[in-house]
Amino acid sequence: MLGLFDPRFGVEKLHRHFRLISADPDYAKVQPIIQNWATGLLDRRGESQKFIKEFQTTFNSSMWELYLNRALIDLGCSVDFSKSAPDFFVRGLGGYEFNVEAVVSDQPPTAKQQKTFDVQDFKIRGALKLAGKIKDKLDLYRGRNGKKYPYFSMSHVRGRPFVIAIAPFDSDLSLTQNNELINMVLFGLAPPVLEGPELGKQDKMSSLLKPSGARVEMGIFTNDSFKEISAVFFSTVGTFGKAVVESKIDRLVRATRYRVIDKDRIAPDSELWQLGTHRFQLAPMNYLLTQRRESEHQIEGADVIVQHSSFHRETHLDGLQVYFNPYAEVPFDSKFQWPREVALNYYDLENGEHLQAHPDGALVSRQVFDITPEYIRLLLGTYGFL
């Protein structure tokens, strides 16, 4: 197999993340993990050299494709790389076939991060980026903007589900957005209320304004305007950090997992399911914050974990979310066997509601930090352990 990490360009052309991985001896154990994700991907005729160039010089979009390639394998699928487009022509169990087109909402190489951070501005810009990239890929499918061979005309695409796999890399903080912004884009849901009597309530929103004043539709899966898209794959953790935690090198991990349990399954003396917010130190460098609220039949909430990477457990598919388009011309097969850690999202047309089939323990977000006194103080202080 061709080596992803054999530098082929001058240092000035290499992406800063590639330079870091290549130069830092700490990441020696991470490189073979990422190389393994490329199984089959570099065998595509005439494409391997181009892919390696993009991985070394632009990084993020290639990293996302590498993550997806391994994810499809873990889903029990195989990819036919004799097809040059879309990115993945996939065959699942029983011969079920679908196509996946990958894209990231990236930032230009010369982009500078804003010195001041405005949460509302961050969310609007992030949602607009996601919506714009999904629209760009739909245009490729439809053959707009002069594309010579639109996807819909390809024999292996016609009559099969068309999936867009998207990840946000448009700012240094884009991986902290959880699923709020993709919920906004696909289902037209404003971010949930985080406190007070209306905790968890989400208002509807139909559009956002670009800086130019142009209006961009939100809730694209609540009508038939994007009917060619069968589903969207989304993750904020299918990144270099995934390879870092899989390698088990020494790092500090901050993660959030969704928690839910039926009330009748809770032991009477269970500390971990008590209502409200509670903090536990489970071991040196292993901290857990639990947030629990009550509904009629269940207790739900989140676990926020700050721990050394030796305590952290994460599968490759942890954090993958799938959104199904109820208006899809070719719906994704409802009988497809998803592994338990994959979070599924549906839209109930009759009630206008987002239906979340998220398993207990579903990974919502995760970041990886160097183990320094500064990061330890920052994380433990942020979550009330200091």
- Whether cis (ω within 30° of 0) applies to the bond prior to 86 is yes
Domain encompassing residue 94: 11-241
Tell me what the mean pLDDT of segment 332-357 comes to.
Answer: 95
What pLDDT, on a 0 to 100 scale, did the predictor assign at position 202? 79
The confidence band for 169, taking pLDDT boundaries of 50, 70 and 90, is confident
In a domain, 347, yes or no: no
The confidence band for 48, taking pLDDT boundaries of 50, 70 and 90, is confident
Please provide the average confidence, as pLDDT, over all residues in the chain.
Answer: 91
Per-residue pLDDT of 108-137, as tens digits, reads 655 555 555 678 888 899 999 999 999 999
What pLDDT, on a 0 to 100 scale, did the predictor assign at position 47? 79
Please check the confidence at residue 237 and state whether its pLDDT lies above 60.
yes
Tell me what the mean pLDDT of segment 299-310 comes to.
Answer: 96
Q: Where are the beta strands (DSSP E) in the chain?
A: 78-79, 88-91, 97-106, 162-169, 207-209, 215-217, 231-234, 252-262, 276-283, 286-294, 298-308, 321-324, 343-348, 353-357, 363-369
Whole-number Å distance between alpha carbons of 365 and 41: 27
What pLDDT, on a 0 to 100 scale, did the predictor assign at position 365? 93
The values of phi and psi at residue 355, to 5°, are -105, 120
In a domain, 297, yes or no: no
Tell me what the mean pLDDT of segment 65-83 comes to.
Answer: 95
Please check the confidence at residue 203 and state whether its pLDDT lies above 90.
no
Per-residue pLDDT of 259-284, as tens digits, reads 999 999 999 889 999 999 999 999 99
In a domain, 183, yes or no: yes
Tell me what the mean pLDDT of segment 5-23 comes to.
Answer: 89
Number of domains in the chain: 1
Nearest CA to 233 among 161, 290, 146, 302? Answer: 161
Task: Find out whether 259 and 302 touch, Cβ atoms under 8 Å.
Answer: yes
Q: Is 82 helix (H, G, I), strand (E, B) or coil?
A: coil
In a domain, 168, yes or no: yes
Task: Find out whether 253 and 245 touch, Cβ atoms under 8 Å.
Answer: yes
Whole-number Å distance between alpha carbons of 336 and 102: 20
Tell me what the mean pLDDT of segment 373-383 comes to.
Answer: 97
Tell me what the mean pLDDT of segment 356-363 comes to.
Answer: 95
Task: Find out whether 243 and 37 touch, Cβ atoms under 8 Å.
Answer: yes
In a domain, 191, yes or no: yes
Please check the confidence at residue 156 and state whether its pLDDT lies above 60.
yes
Q: Which residues pair with 90 in a beta bridge?
A: 79, 98
Whole-prediction pTM value? Answer: 0.93
Q: Which residue do the tokens 């996807």 mark? A: 151
Number of Cβ atoms within 10 Å of the Cβ of 213: 6
In a domain, 143, yes or no: yes
What pLDDT, on a 0 to 100 scale, did the predictor assign at position 252? 97
What pLDDT, on a 0 to 100 scale, did the predictor assign at position 198? 64
Whole-number Å distance between alpha carbons of 378 and 386: 9
Whole-number Å distance between alpha carbons of 266 and 209: 46
Tokens of 367: 């970041």
What pLDDT, on a 0 to 100 scale, did the predictor assign at position 109? 57
Tell me what the mean pLDDT of segment 74-97 comes to.
Answer: 94
Nearest CA to 79 among 49, 100, 50? Answer: 100
In a domain, 70, yes or no: yes
In a domain, 311, yes or no: no
